[in-house]
Chains A and B, each alone.
Chain A
Amino acid sequence: NAGVTQTPKFQVLKTGQSMTLQCAQDMNHNSMYWYRQDPGMGLRLIYYSASEGTTDKGEVPNGYNVSRLNKREFSLRLESAAPSQTSVYFCASSPERVGPYGYTFGSGTRLTVV
Chain B
Amino acid sequence: AQSVAQPEDQVNVAEGNPLTVKCTYSVSGNPYLFWYVQYPNRGLQFLLKYITGDNLVKGSYGFEAEFNKSQTSFHLKKPSALVSDSALYFCAVRPSSNTGKLIFGQGTTLQVKP
Binding site for B on A (CB under 8 A): 4, 33, 40-43, 45, 48, 50, 90, 92, 94, 96-108, 110
- CB pair A43–B104 under 8 Å, yes or no, is yes
A105 to B85, CA, bound (A): 19
Given contacts A43-B90, A100-B32, A100-B94, contact A105 B102 (CB under 8 A): no
Listed residue (A41, A43, A99, A101) with the most chain B CB atoms within 10 angstroms of its CB: A43
- Size of the B side of the interface (Cβ < 8 Å), in residues, is 25
Question: What residues of chain B have their CB less than 8 Å away from a CB belonging to chain A?
Answer: 32, 34, 36, 41-46, 49, 51, 90, 92, 94, 96-102, 104-107
A102 near B92 with CB under 8 A, answer yes
- B98 proximity list for chain A (CB < 8 A): 97-98
Please judge, given known A-B contacts A45-B101, A90-B43, A105-B44, whether A100 and B106 are in contact too, CB under 8 Å.
Answer: no
Q: Of all chain B residues, which has the CB nearest A88?
A: B41
Distance between Cα atoms of A76 and B96 in the complex (Å): 28
Number of A-B contacts (CB under 8 A): 57
Instruction: Give the top 8 A-B pairs by smallest Cβ distance, nearest first.
Output: A98-B100, A105-B43, A42-B106, A105-B44, A100-B51, A107-B43, A100-B32, A43-B104
Chain B residues with CB below 8 A from A90, complex form: 43-44
A42 vs B90: C-alpha distance when bound (angstroms): 9
Can you give 23 A-B contacts (C-beta < 8 A)?
A40-B106, A41-B106, A42-B105, A42-B106, A42-B107, A43-B44, A43-B90, A45-B101, A48-B101, A90-B43, A92-B44, A97-B98, A97-B100, A98-B96, A98-B99, A100-B51, A100-B94, A102-B36, A102-B49, A102-B94, A102-B102, A105-B44, A106-B43
Query: What CA separation (Å) do A96 and B95 show in the bound complex?
Result: 13
Q: How far is the CA of A103 from the CA of B43 in the complex (A)?
A: 11
Residues of A within 8 A of B43 (CB): 4, 90, 105-108
Q: How near does chain A come to B105, taking the closest CB pair, in angstroms? A: 7
